[in-house]
A and B are shown apart, each in its own frame.
Chain A
Amino acid sequence: MFRSIRLRVAITMVICLAALVYLAPSLTSDLPALWKQYLPTDKIRLGLDLQGGMHLVLEVDTAKAVETTLVRSANDLKETLMDSRVRFRFLDRLKDAHPTFEFPDVASRDAFDKILKAQYPDLEEASSETVEGKARVALKIKERRAADIRKMAVDQSLETIRNRVDQFGISEPEIIPQGEDRIIVQLPGVKDPARAKGLIGRTALLEFKLVDDEHSVEDALRGNLPEGSMLANESRLDRTTGRRTDIPLLLKSRALLTGDALENARVQIGDRFGEPHVSIKFNAQGAKDFDRITAENVKKRLAIVLDGVVHSAPVIQERISGGQAQITGSFTMEEASDLAIVLRAGALPAPVNILEERTVGPSLGKDSIEMGTWASIIGGILVLLFMVLYYRATGLIADLALCLNMLLLLGTMAAFKATLTLPGIAGIALTIGMAVDANVLINERIREELRLGKTLRAAIEAGYAKAFLTIFDSNVTTLVAALFLFGFGTGPVKGFAVTLTIGIVASMFTAIFVTRIIFDHLVWNRKLDRISI
């Protein structure tokens, strides 16, 4: 390799200096301004288990997104058929959740086929049968289109959740897709996990629906649901008792307007009770629609439905132009501001389920860091002491290598923006134990060679040459295991693998390359012929 000691020292200096530069921001927070301008300022990132925070794995219910599209298309198709005067009967969800149409004669069936093919390219026949001489056709979404919808649902959910989290104000959140339909959300240092979860997991589908006054609610509750109507609960807060009660309401199924038509939403404090409400502003098209809807339905009740629950159902007193409306419903300040956030960020295209949640309080993280760090430092000092005790002067050389190893390990972690987790701290401590191994191997080899009667120079030469292969093979084998750990591991396990991998590579450099420089210097320049080993 490199014979020149000066060159090798220079290489070592450059590498150590680079590690130090990367590590500096993690050690002190007041760096000179000039440093902040030109040199790295990233700190070693702490995992959620160390700094506290929340880790969520969400699953987007993509099947639901496909189903929603199917229902909407089927409803559109129904109207097109009516407009084209095709005779049919709609059998909702007759078979396996496929909307089914029934046709009394061949002519209408043919007309249906034509319309389906020409205007609804996303739909196709799932199955058809003839019942009592009438053709029944069940519909589904084409597989290719369904795949698109599923993908879009995940992409949109990701975007929406990102928006919501950004507005909630959490620094350095991480929101990444995983697999086909999962989203990982990491919120470091989140103060109120329950609130954050509510904000992220809420579908927030806002709909405006007319209240069906023509039919009786009691009748519908008994099971006689009129066609085109649905039941929903209005949640009312009794101001005197503070109790919430659910009042059933009969609504028209069709949503006249949805949250898509919103341009903005913000919290306002009402004049009368000093109670917060959310004031919403429609976009241009939404304002036009709202204007028309209110004009057409004066004296009727318009229900504001959020995720299937009626928040209020005021009577439309007069036509409302200008595109402003209010959502009231006895909110707390927090609830109102969260609602404004989710309305601004938009609805999730499909419901999400929380599959996994890990929340670590900040105090636990602090305890863990303290204990883990102290244990690692004490373990490290014991190893350093032991090496000097056992090998004397040579032990000191090994100790120097060990300290450099720590510097390189931490510096590399900062440079790669690797995350330090609790098992990662254990990994560092283990690296200390293992980095020693290389030096033990070398020193034991040199001892052996000296026993054979070789000169110090020859013994060092042979010791390093022979130990190198051993160290290389044993470390690469460990590296293989660490890489698989990284590839298949999750969360903290991955953090551990990162630390271990960097540690192994760093220890090969310091234990073989760096210590050799010192040995060579002593033997070549200082003409040493004996050393305590």
Chain B
Amino acid sequence: MELIKSQTNFNFVRVMKPAVILSVAVILIGIASLFWHGGPNYGIDFAGGTLIQIKFDKEPQADKIRDAFRTIGFEGSIIQEFGHNEVIVRTAESGADPAGLTAKVDEALSTAFGKASYEVRRVEMVGPKVGRDLTRKALLAIFFSWIGILIYVGVRFEFRYALGGIVALIHDILITVTFLSLFGKEFDLNIVAALLTIVGYSINDTIVIFDRIRENTRKNVKTPLTELINLSVNQTLSRTILTSFTLFMVLLVLFFMGGAVIHDFTFTLLVGTIAGVYSTVFIASPIVLLFEKIHPTGLIKRKG
């Protein structure tokens, strides 16, 4: 079977400019959305606070839960539906007395709903100090992974490729963050893991095309880089689509069947995968081309 005919010859380089404009537009929307929402919607991992997941034996009324929580002084608690007959209650409070907190919640719920009709399935409390720590670690992880990739790709290829790869993955992260913000998703540690995975896959995808460009440059020293890039993207097109398709398939199954806990996690990866394929084809190579124009490197000089 062949999905992509072997003789495809789309002129990718020609549509790269509109593609870049499209990406920039989406990212600008994302930045606007972030400002509109007053920054990212940080989960308790980063903002600190308490999260309580409760499963009821029948469909609970949000108002009743809210009232129950109001009686114990959780005025600003956010109540979200989470899977079947389950809710997540989030408050900004992170008590120095967490034992008392759970007891209070238990008492409020059993007066409102009756003792056996619910089950507290998860309690997470993150103090503000730890929240700051986790944020710092997450940012460090992202930053150093970029540096690591920059160095490795810089050594194995050339520096302009490394830059192209990094720009492509920053693009993917920004696009993903845009969609997270537009859909009002929460930023927590799992989302950071997902973002970092996107970093890994995006660069993986990009490297395959760079590898082809590298190979073609050696074979056809006289051909201009624009043509080589076009050739390489076309040659690897069927692989790019196949791999992303299988990955996408697995993610879709996880998204619909993996349960509520990893729902946002897989959502992030889905968006990231699409952004990753897109940037591999339309973003990474133009950057290489751009640096070529600014500063022609050895490979080109050799031909003249």
Contacts and interface: CB of A to CB of B under 8 A. Distances in A.
Interface of A: 49, 57, 59, 193-194, 197-198, 201, 353-361, 363-364, 367-368, 371-372, 374-376, 378-380, 382-383, 386-387, 389-392, 422-423, 425-427, 429-430, 432-434, 436-437, 440-441, 444, 447-448, 451, 466, 469-470, 473-478, 480-485, 487-493, 496-497, 500
Given A49-B261, A473-B207, A480-B148, A361 B120 contact: yes
Nearest to B129: A355
Nearest to B193: A493
A422 B130 contact: no
B152 interface: yes
A532 B70 CA distance: 67
A355 B124 contact: no
Contacts of B129: 59, 355
B246 A368 contact: no
A484 B208 contact: no
B17 to A, nearest CB: 27
A478 B125 contact: no
B47 interface: no
Interface string B210-221: 011001000000
B96 interface: yes
A190 to B, nearest CB: 12
Given A376-B254, A451-B6, A476-B152, A357 B123 contact: yes
Contacts of A483: 148
26 contacts: A197-B98, A201-B99, A355-B130, A356-B127, A359-B124, A379-B251, A379-B254, A383-B250, A425-B262, A426-B266, A427-B197, A432-B250, A437-B246, A437-B247, A440-B243, A448-B235, A470-B212, A473-B207, A474-B203, A474-B207, A477-B165, A480-B148, A481-B197, A485-B193, A488-B137, A500-B200
Contact of B141 (A359, A427, A488): A488
Contacts of B3: 390
A57 B253 contact: no
Given A358-B124, A488-B138, A477 B207 contact: yes
A478 B203 contact: yes
A484 B249 contact: no
Contact of A470 (B125, B208, B262): B208
A469 B235 CA distance: 16
A406 to B, nearest CB: 13
B242 interface: yes
Given A353-B96, A361-B120, A433-B250, A473 B156 contact: yes
Contact of A355 (B127, B156, B204): B127
B269 A430 contact: yes
Interface string B250-265: 1101100111011001
Task: Give the most central of A194, A430, A477: most B CB within 10 Å.
Answer: A477
Given A361-B119, A426-B262, 8 more contacts: A372-B258, A437-B243, A440-B239, A440-B243, A448-B6, A473-B207, A475-B204, A481-B196
Contacts of B196: 481, 484-485, 493
Contacts of B303: none
A481 B126 contact: no
B98 A429 contact: no
- Top 9 nearest A-B pairs (CB, nearest first) are A488-B141, A371-B259, A433-B247, A379-B250, A481-B200, A364-B121, A484-B145, A478-B200, A379-B253
A441 B125 contact: no
A361 B53 CA distance: 10
Give the secondary structure class of A's interface: helix
B3 to A, nearest CB: 8
A358 B197 CA distance: 24
Contacts of A425: 258, 262
Contacts of A363: 55, 119, 121
B19 interface: no
Give the secondary structure class of B's interface: helix
Contacts of B21: none
Given A354-B125, A481-B196, A57 B130 contact: yes
A490 B207 contact: no
A368 B86 CA distance: 14
Nearest to A55: B124
B96 A430 contact: no
A193 B106 CA distance: 13
B123 A474 contact: no
B226 interface: no
B204 A436 contact: no
Contact of B250 (A382, A389, A441): A382
B102 A478 contact: no
Contact of A193 (B123, B205, B262): B123
A441 B208 contact: yes
B272 to A, nearest CB: 11
Contacts of A470: 207-208, 211-212
A433 B53 CA distance: 31
Given A361-B120, A389-B1, A489-B193, A193 B102 contact: yes
A176 to B, nearest CB: 16
Interface string B48-89: 000001010000000000000000000000000000000000
Nearest to A435: B246
B159 interface: no
Nearest to A178: B133
A430 B208 contact: no
B140 interface: yes
B147 to A, nearest CB: 9
B291 interface: no
A470 B216 CA distance: 13
